[in-house]
Amino acid sequence: MLKTVLITGGTGFLGSNLIGQLIRNCRVINLVRSSSDCFRIDGYSENITLYNLDEVNLADIFAREDIDTIIHCATNYGRRENDTFSLLEANLMLPLKLLQLGHTHGVTTFINTDTILDKRVSYYALSKSQFKDWLRTYSTDMVCINIALEHFYGPNDDESKFVTYIVKSILNEVDQIDLTPGDQQRDFIYISDVVKAFLKVLECGSTKAGFYSYEVGTNINTSIRVFAEMVKRLARNSKTKLNFGGLPYRDNEVMNSFVNTSAIRQLGWAPEVTLEDGLAETIRFEGEK
């Protein structure tokens, strides 16, 4: 029998890419809202079951469906001011409801999408850390998996993301992009490698109840300065000025990113797409839109 996977955030960048692969071997249930923009999953509509949370109660979904696995991808990054409640609803309250219902209805595996960021960096990182603590409490009866991601990117990502912002600004040949001095080191990982990490965890992950943690990145750090200059070179842009130092570093800025990928690599996963190749594909896609 096909496994039934319930996914949140399926209309988003990560979730939609996951759905594109999951539908090959799983029955997929996707939770949406009336306000959700479903353009990323339009091509999968006949292969997934949609439930609108503005119209259907979560408890009714679990009573109706025989769900094996929950993958929580829905994320609020807290980029809008005065939006703390919405951030907590997406990053803490919704997954906690799913975790409780999953436990009640015999769901075997819960996979949470986490961040590498320290909880002191932002409310977003704090909310992610708080849910991870809750996830641990349920691990005596369920397989609870936490996948912490480095800075993932790729074609068709949200325009509010840093990589997409830089790519689109350079493709549009804006006169100037104000940036920090650019000495921060980041681990950029292409979306297809992230999706393969999730699939590898689903394939090889333990069936024994417990808490399992995986960090996903390339283990190759690149400075923001080098990254932006690479985008400009690949886009063949000679017009836009990269104004390094035009912006100050953020409070609690992370200057170096460190990720321990030993656990996910032990499952047989390894990143395959270089930063230059991934950016070239992203630039090509965005340039053709």
The per-residue pLDDT for range 143-177, each reduced to its tens digit, is: 999 999 999 999 999 988 999 999 999 999 999 99
- The angle at the Cα of 198, spanning 123 to 141, to the nearest 5 degrees, equals 80
In a domain? residue 266 = no
How far, CA to CA in Å, does 53 sit from each of 32, 56, 80, 105, 157? Answer: 6, 5, 23, 18, 24
State the Cα–Cα distance between residues 191 and 13, nearest whole angstrom.
9
In a domain? residue 92 = yes
pLDDT greater at residue 207 or residue 18: 18
In a domain? residue 51 = yes
pLDDT greater at residue 265 or residue 250: 265
State the Cα–Cα distance between residues 20 and 265, nearest whole angstrom.
23
State the residue range of the domain holding 142: 1-149
pLDDT number for residue 81: 57
Which whole number is the average pLDDT over 9-28?
Answer: 96
In a domain? residue 8 = yes
Inform me whether the pLDDT recorded for 256 exceeds 60: yes
Place of tokens 């209805």: 105
Q: Which two tokens stand for residue 177?
A: 């992009």
Which whole number is the average pLDDT over 242-253?
Answer: 93
Q: What's the DSSP call for residue 41? A: G
pLDDT number for residue 82: 55
Which whole number is the average pLDDT over 209-230?
Answer: 97
Q: Indicate the pairing of strand 143-149 with strand 210-216.
A: parallel
In a domain? residue 17 = yes
Q: What is the pLDDT of residues 176-189, one digit of tens each?
A: 999 999 999 999 99
pLDDT number for residue 80: 63
Inform me whether the pLDDT recorded for 1 exceeds 70: no
Inform me whether the pLDDT recorded for 53 exceeds 80: yes
pLDDT number for residue 231: 98
**How sure is the predictor about 21, in pLDDT bands with cuts at 50, 70 and 90?**
very high
In a domain? residue 207 = no
In a domain? residue 116 = yes
Which whole number is the average pLDDT over 252-268?
Answer: 93
pLDDT greater at residue 125 or residue 246: 246
With 0-12 / 13-18 / 19 or more C-beta atoms within 10 angstroms meaning exposed / middle / buried, residue 160 is exposed
State the chain's mean pLDDT as an integer.
94
In a domain? residue 184 = no
Report how many domains make up the chain.
1
Inform me whether the pLDDT recorded for 118 exceeds 70: yes
- Percent of the chain past pLDDT 90, that is, above it, reads 85
CATH of the domain at 123: 3.40.50.720
